[in-house]
Chains A and B, each alone.
Chain A
Amino acid sequence: DQQVKQNSPSLSVQEGRISILNCDYTNSMFDYFLWYKKYPAEGPTFLISISSIKDKNEDGRFTVFLNKSAKHLSLHIVPSQPGDSAVYFCAARDFGNEKLTFGTGTRLTIIP
């Protein structure tokens, strides 16, 4: 029973274009969503987050959109840069127990 799903294992995008990473969830108790970026042989690093009371949050080149009715969130990276090549995990917090549930990740490759 996977409560957080990232259906695209990989994504390739030309440098300078927009990268869109998607995440779907099933648990209505999730109230806070986060995106982490992970390079090989390193721990995940926090990228951006959004509370369920908002539908958009921006931080520089990164924007997260939340559609609660569709139980869907997406991460937009504009413009994409070679250093953005990494695995991206979305995660959701359960309001009831504060645990984080992670998706399986999407490997983003930026083509120069």
Chain B
Amino acid sequence: NAGVTQTPKFQVLKTGQSMTLQCAQDMNHEYMSWYRQDPGMGLRLIHYSVGAGITDQGEVPNGYNVSRSTTEDFPLRLLSAAPSQTSVYFCASRGTSPTQYFGPGTRLTVL
């Protein structure tokens, strides 16, 4: 039981490049979400999904796309990276309880 896994751990991009941050969970959780953590800002919700085929925007969705084709996977796409997207990204999932379980994070730097 691996819980929530994220790849890659680190990534450096140039402005304008695209990439996908991967997130997978093996707990059969319906709810999955993406957060970003910036200094002094706590964790802010980017996008979330309440089940396969259903996604919705969080607090800071601009510049990010998501899709949910399976229960296990919830990738986050940056179509054209900007320096303002330099951050640490966390994926989380939860079952029927309100407690969300987080992955180890991806540290992204956009030059």
Contacts and interface: CB of A to CB of B under 8 A. Distances in A.
B105 A49 contact: no
A76 interface: no
A93 B44 CA distance: 13
Nearest to B101: A46
A42 B104 contact: yes
Interface string A80-105: 00000000010101000011111111
Nearest to B39: A104
Given A93-B98, A99-B58, A43 B104 contact: yes
A32 interface: yes
B103 A100 contact: no
Contact of A43 (B41, B58, B90, B98): B90
Contacts, number: 50
B80 interface: no
A93 B92 CA distance: 14
B42 A89 contact: yes
Interface string B74-111: 00000000000000001010000011111111000000
A43 B99 contact: no
A99 B99 CA distance: 11
Interface of A: 4, 9, 32, 34, 36, 41-46, 49, 89, 91, 93, 98-105
